[in-house]
Structure 1
Amino acid sequence: MATDTDTAATRQDQGRVWLDGKLVTLCLGGTLVVVASLLVQVSFGTYSMSIPQAWGAVADPAVWTHPQVLLRFLLGEGLGDAVAGTLGLSTAEVDLPTATNIVWNIRLPRVFVAILVGMALAVSGAIFQAVTRNELASPFILGVSSGAGLAVLLTLVVFSSVSIAIPLGITTFVFDSTAMLPLTAALGGALAFAIVYAIAWKGGTSPVRLVLAGVIVSTVFQSLQTALFTFASDIGVVQQAIAWTTGSLTGVEWEQVRLALPGTFVAVVLSLALARQLNVLLLGESTARSLGMPVERMRFGLSAVAILAAAASIAVAGIVSFVGLIVPHVVRNIVGSDYRKLVVGCLFVGPALMCAADVGARLFFELAFNQPQQLHVGIVTGLIGGPYFLYLMRKQQTMGEL
């Protein structure tokens, strides 16, 4: 009996080996950055309020003690009330103070979208790096971002008036072009990656060919994105398209949170569940096959997860560069290449980078020049990612295959 107990304890300890001090410290640091960014974001804006008033609005009991309010934020007014009614909760309107309304309806959604986008892009980049065994791989470099961005721009510029009505019983659900953005982004990203893989395939693939094919596809798709601007006669549509191609969180609301949440959640859960398979892929194709893994099917399945994550991000924030490339590098340098650690670390470092970059994008002109303009967050991540990528190139003698 004692032997069985000792064996069970040993197995439990082996299962916890991946959770070490470095990973815990990394997760705590990422959480602190996100919380600090949240407090900064809610404290500044067009509507003037004191910092204690803004922070108090975040913890306002009028929100936290009324579940129907939170359900309306997360699910939308109609579905939120329906769920509240099903659970036997009150569906009565709650009169929120002005400061609470502004913080919860305008400022907090931006932080939540930044968190989801950071998670999605970091996980997507980490998966692509394992699938291709190439540390230079990311949704941006492999053409997935450009393909998804082109699909989104086509929806906004060419098919903005298209809507689909689905009758369900006595109710008809109408899906407009905005509601279909996650699906169109996923289809565009999948098509782009399929083209990259087809170009790179020559009796197999190699890290160099995949990167070169990704650069080719990205260049072509970015040219097509630029060409689409000529079809947009409305200056508002042009500005919206520019925001999509550079990555922006300006003006996001709870609707964008609801758009990004399902895809990000599914991709995160699957990436955590498939961490062991990602580790096996890093051993090489011959080793993975000798261990009984169907390599090609697993590679395409994992690629689908990465595309889903990238599409969830692009559908709400546009093409945010470098996050999917540098976050896995940062985490790998700290906790190692074990994907059980790497994926968890990405879930904290990705949001930390996005939230911090968005604080800089939103407040730079206001604090430096007292001007209300805002930078697009994709510009800030590019300014961060470019020098870091150069640092990696200078630091490492060889870059490419993992």
Structure 2
Amino acid sequence: MSNTDPSAAAEEFKSRRAEEGRLAWVQDPSLITLCLASVGIVVLAGLVQISFGSYTMPVSQAWQAVIDTDVLFDARWLLQFFLGEELMRTVTGFQGELPELATGTLIVWNIRLPRVVVAVFVGMNLAVSGAIFQAVTRNELASPFILGVSSGAGLMILLSLVVFSSLSTVLPLVAALGGMAAFLIVYLIAWKNGTSPVRLVLAGVIVSTVFQSLQTAMFFFADDLGVVQTAIQWTTGSLTGVGWAQVRMALPWTIISMFLAALSSRQMNVLLLGEQTAKSLGVSVERVRFALSSIAVLAAAASIAVAGIVSFVGLIVPHLVRNIVGTNYKKLVVGCLFAGPALMVGADVGARLGMMVVTGTNGGQLPVGIVTGLVGGPYFLYLMRKKQELGEI
């Protein structure tokens, strides 16, 4: 890319954009196939997930509970789940008791379905966040985990849990501040008359190591054993015990960050052309990098605040989607919106099944971050071996 004349590359970019049209990318068969396959994985894996528990039910019964018209056609129930009871009563003016639901429906909608919804949000946020960081750094090995964002957000949330418990209601903002601070530190360390992909990755490893050590040190300041257990579960990345409160916590930040990411796809495409070409197209490179990084940090923070540090999703998903739909970020962002949830929901089911095989019961739950780490570690090694030069994209 660096050997290409910036003005020629800029003209080629403009002409290609004019030829493709605004919505031509939506008709890409590979993108449509990826989205449909991802939806199928989420539905099937989600049904398997909500069938498990002390009240076991067949997949067919779980599906009937999900599509129960007593919930789907009653706005009061839906508003209570997604907005909370207080807001539901404020919006609808209803002050009585909601109608009773069947036992299976009550278990699925109150306890099990929110876990699948949170997994969808987490996968979506981490995948898109990783894709943005890969565009900002022009490095296929970049991700929130590798660049220290996850560790920075994690440290701030641990501080909130252990020291400043009053901040628990604004965990996504707290995590965003920690993630942005970590990324700024990485950027400053990597800066030397500019940055390079290799320096950004190495600086991210340094910052992650330091912040993870501080996270470990925080356990010695926690007097409550319950807080320690929660923190340990949180640092490994887990969906155990999540409910509609976590859905409501992640929902607004997910909508904002995904909307902004979709609007910014053109800027990400321009960044891939190189700094000189981007400048010749009238783009303020540093401002765009900072704005895109802010979106990526917010997306990662929204997932970290509800599920903890789930590693490697932001690395694996953008790379897999890129191999299928190409490097156009209009398609890549949409692909990540679908493929990220498929990986997370599938990994969560894999964690549940793995625990069942080991223990012989369906009561135990393995943190989903362990599964994504076991998958992502070898895949990261594969990427490093495949690339002749670190930073190649």
TM-score range, shorter chain: over 0.9
Q: Which residue of 2 aligns with 1:53?
A: 61
Q: Which residue of 2 aligns with 1:3?
A: none
User: 2:25 aligned to 12, 18, 21, which one?
Assistant: 18
Q: Is the 8 A contact 2:198 2:390 kept in 1?
A: no
One-letter amino acid of the structure 2 residue matched with residue 396 of structure 1: K
One-letter amino acid of the structure 1 residue matched with residue 113 of structure 2: L
- Residue by residue, what CA displacement relative to the aligned partner does 1:346-399 show, whole Å, maximum 9, x if unpaired? 001100000000001123222453232211000000011112122223333233
Q: Which residue of 2 aligns with 1:309?
A: 299
Q: Which residue of 1 aligns with 2:12?
A: none
User: 2:181 aligned to 180, 184, 191, which one?
Assistant: 191
Whole-Å Cα distance in 2 between the matches of residues 228 and 16 of structure 1?
A: 50
Q: Is the 8 A contact 2:250 2:302 kept in 1?
A: yes
- Residue by residue, what CA displacement relative to the aligned partner does 1:128-158 show, whole Å, maximum 9, x if unpaired? 0101111111000100000000000000011
Whole-Å Cα distance in 2 between the matches of residues 43 and 80 of structure 1?
A: 28
Q: Secondary structure in 1 aligned to 2:99? A: coil
Whole-Å Cα distance in 2 between the matches of residues 94 and 254 of structure 1?
A: 19
Whole-Å Cα distance in 1 between the matches of residues 387 and 372 of structure 2?
A: 22
One-letter amino acid of the structure 1 residue matched with residue 299 of structure 2: A
Q: Which residue of 1 aligns with 2:201?
A: 211
One-letter amino acid of the structure 2 residue matched with residue 142 of structure 1: L
Identify which range, 216-225 or 383-392, moves more after superposition.
383-392
Q: Is the 8 A contact 2:128 2:336 kept in 1?
A: yes
One-letter amino acid of the structure 2 residue matched with residue 304 of structure 1: S
Q: Which residue of 2 aligns with 1:31?
A: 39
Is 1:380 the counterpart of 2:385? The answer is no
- TM superposition shift of 1:111: 0.2
Q: Is the 8 A contact 1:127 1:306 kept in 2?
A: yes
User: Which runs of structure 2 are paired with 1:1-400 in the superposition (5 Å)?
Assistant: 14-19=21-26, 20-85=28-93, 93-160=98-165, 162=166, 177-371=167-361, 372-400=363-391
Whole-Å Cα distance in 1 between the matches of residues 64 and 96 of structure 2?
A: 24
Q: Which runs of 5+ in 2 are unaligned?
A: 1-16
Q: Secondary structure in 1 aligned to 2:55? A: coil
- TM superposition shift of 1:263: 1.0
Whole-Å Cα distance in 2 between the matches of residues 43 and 220 of structure 1?
A: 41
1:222/1:79 Cα in 2 relative to 1: closer, same or farther (>3 Å)? same
Identify which range, 46-55 or 248-257, moves more after superposition.
46-55
1:32/1:51 Cα in 2 relative to 1: closer, same or farther (>3 Å)? closer
- So what's the TM-score if we normalise by structure 1? 0.90
- Residue by residue, what CA displacement relative to the aligned partner does 1:317-359 show, whole Å, maximum 9, x if unpaired? 0000000011100001111110001000000110000000000
Tell me the percent identity: 67
- TM superposition shift of 1:24: 0.6
Q: Is the 8 A contact 2:141 2:383 kept in 1?
A: no
- TM superposition shift of 1:92: 5.2
Q: Secondary structure in 1 aligned to 2:248? A: helix
One-letter amino acid of the structure 1 residue matched with residue 57 of structure 2: M
Q: Which residue of 1 aligns with 2:14?
A: none
Whole-Å Cα distance in 2 between the matches of residues 155 and 208 of structure 1?
A: 33
Q: Is the 8 A contact 1:143 1:189 kept in 2?
A: yes
Q: Is the 8 A contact 1:186 1:311 kept in 2?
A: yes
One-letter amino acid of the structure 2 residue matched with residue 262 of structure 1: P
Whole-Å Cα distance in 1 between the matches of residues 215 and 59 of structure 2?
A: 41
One-letter amino acid of the structure 2 residue matched with residue 374 of structure 1: Q
Whole-Å Cα distance in 1 between the matches of residues 281 and 246 of structure 2?
A: 42
Q: Secondary structure in 2 aligned to 1:15? A: coil
- TM superposition shift of 1:91: 6.6
- TM superposition shift of 1:82: 1.5
